[in-house]
Amino acid sequence: MKALQYRTIGAAPEVVAVPDPEPGPGQVLLKVTAAGVCHSDIAVMSWPAENFPYEFPLTLGHEGVGTVAALGAGVSGVREGDAVAVYGPWGCGTCAKCAQGKENYCLRADALGIRPPGLGRPGAIAEYLLVDDPRHLVPLDGLDPVAAAPLTDAGLTPYHAIKRSMPKLVPGSTAVVIGTGGLGHVAIQLLRALTPARVIALDVSEDKLRLAKEVGAHETVLSDAGAAAAVRTLTGGLGAEAVFDFVGAEPTLRTAGALAAVEGDVTIVGIGGGALPVGFGSLPFEVSVAAPYWGSRSELIEVLNLARSGAVSVHTETYFLDEAPLAYERLHTGKVNGRAVILPNR
Ligand SMILES: [Zn+2]
Ligand SMILES: [Zn+2]
């Protein structure tokens, strides 16, 4: 089969032929209908060889949707032909976190060498994807595969981040979304669907701010050195009860800290490598800072339910598998508006 692989440190990923995977006991083979292209892969491909945590070559793609093509021995609960989305942050399935569906925080994944598809294990940007266990699959139940694939990360990750702050996002409150790309433009829709908060979007690109407005942001602000002051002005000096930074770089985190309200939340979602100092006087009183990762299995089910109700739709542009390197190049240069989705079997 064909797969998109990252094969050389620092080089662009390539479409190559690899052996067809076969499901072992307990595993499920999916024919991939759609796979999302995530900005975090760009970060992965920028890591130096000595810090690269995964085996080479790496088939990319941690947002996958497909139809069940074959079942390994002993698999029950899904049938051939079922259309499913893949829950990506695989865990051991049995520790205290996994027992709550929080496989993203599995306490044993590292020790057991369990990795998500596309982030260690062969990923979804390929004709077929091997899934370790049917519990990682959520039925699409009528959702369009292209629309659904990005929901498994670009939907689930902001959903999980927003849920943490929902008690603070009461009527009259303000939520700020920094970086309105793949995850950010979904975050705006989720905030509108889940909370009565006023949503202010920040980005360095006018194009992305236009998309932010289209998907429901009440206000947009160009993300520069004056952004925090602009948000203070828009909020009568109070700042934002919740700030979601989908960039996570030093300058955006500085902005996030500077525009948080007293007792506000700053949530660092982007993996831009920045840090936000927390100490007495460095932030407004009792600001809470967290850096969550992905989301739980039950939250993915909730996100898909929300999408089915029409409350959230990902802005997508589609590519054939042979064009996947181009999708990464466009993402890298900031040209993708919304989410790029690969169609490996078309
Ligand atoms: Zn991702
Ligand atoms: Zn676990």
**Can you give the pLDDT at residue 194?**
98
What are the tens digits of pLDDT across the range 57-72? 999 999 999 999 999 9
pLDDT in tens, 80-124: 999 999 999 999 999 999 999 999 999 999 999 999 999 999 999
Output the CA 271–ligand 1 centroid distance in Å.
Answer: 10
Q: Give the list of residues 6+ apart from residue 228 with CB closer than 8 angstroms, or none.
A: 254, 255, 258, 259
CA of 273 to the centre of ligand 1 (A): 15
- Ligand 1 centre to CA of 119 (Å) is 9
Q: Give the C-alpha separation, 113 to 300, whole Å.
A: 23
Q: Is the pLDDT confidence value at 133 over 90?
A: yes
Interval 183-200: pLDDT, tens: 999 999 999 999 999 999
Band (pLDDT 50/70/90 cuts) for residue 321 is very high
Residue 255 pLDDT exceeds 90: yes
* pLDDT computed for residue 67 by the predictor: 98
**Rounded distance, CA 295 to CA 268, Å?**
14
**In which band, very low, low, confident or very high, does the pLDDT at 250 lie, cut at 50, 70 and 90?**
very high
Distance 158 CA to ligand 1 centre (A): 11
pLDDT at 55: 87
pLDDT for the residue 257: 98
Q: What is the pLDDT of residue 45?
A: 94
pLDDT at 266: 98
Q: What is the pLDDT of residue 51?
A: 84
Q: How far is the CA of 153 from the centre of ligand 1 (A)?
A: 5
Q: 304: part of which helix (H) or strand (E)?
A: helix 297-308
- pLDDT exceeds cutoff 90 at 337: no
Residue 98 phi/psi, 5° resolution?
A: -60, -35
pLDDT (mean) for 263-292: 96
> How remote is the CA of residue 310 from the centroid of ligand 1, in Å?
23
Instruction: State the sign of the Cα–Cα–Cα–Cα dihedral 190, 192, 198, 202.
Output: positive
Q: How many residues would you count in the chain?
A: 346
Ligand 2 midpoint to CA 262 (Å): 36
| 284 C-alpha to ligand 1 centroid (Å) | 31
**C-alpha distances in angstroms, 39 versus 82, 123, 219, 344?**
29, 15, 25, 19
- pLDDT, mean of residues 122-134: 98
Rounded to the nearest angstrom, the distance between the alpha carbon of 102 and the centre of ligand 2 is: 8
Which residues have a Cβ under 8 Å from the Cβ of 70 and sit 6 or more positions away? 22, 23, 28, 29, 80
> Which residue has tokens 């006991």?
25
- Cα separation, 342 vs 346, whole angstroms: 9
Which ligand is nearest the CA of 63, by number?
1
Give yes or no for residue 74 having a pLDDT over 90: yes
For 285-318, the pLDDT digits (tens) are 999 999 999 999 999 999 999 999 999 989 999 9
Share the mean pLDDT of the chain: 96
Q: Rounded to whole angstroms, what are the CA distances from 59 to 22, 94, 208? A: 16, 27, 29
Share of the chain above pLDDT 70, in %: 100
Structure confidence at residue 338 as a pLDDT band (50, 70, 90):
confident
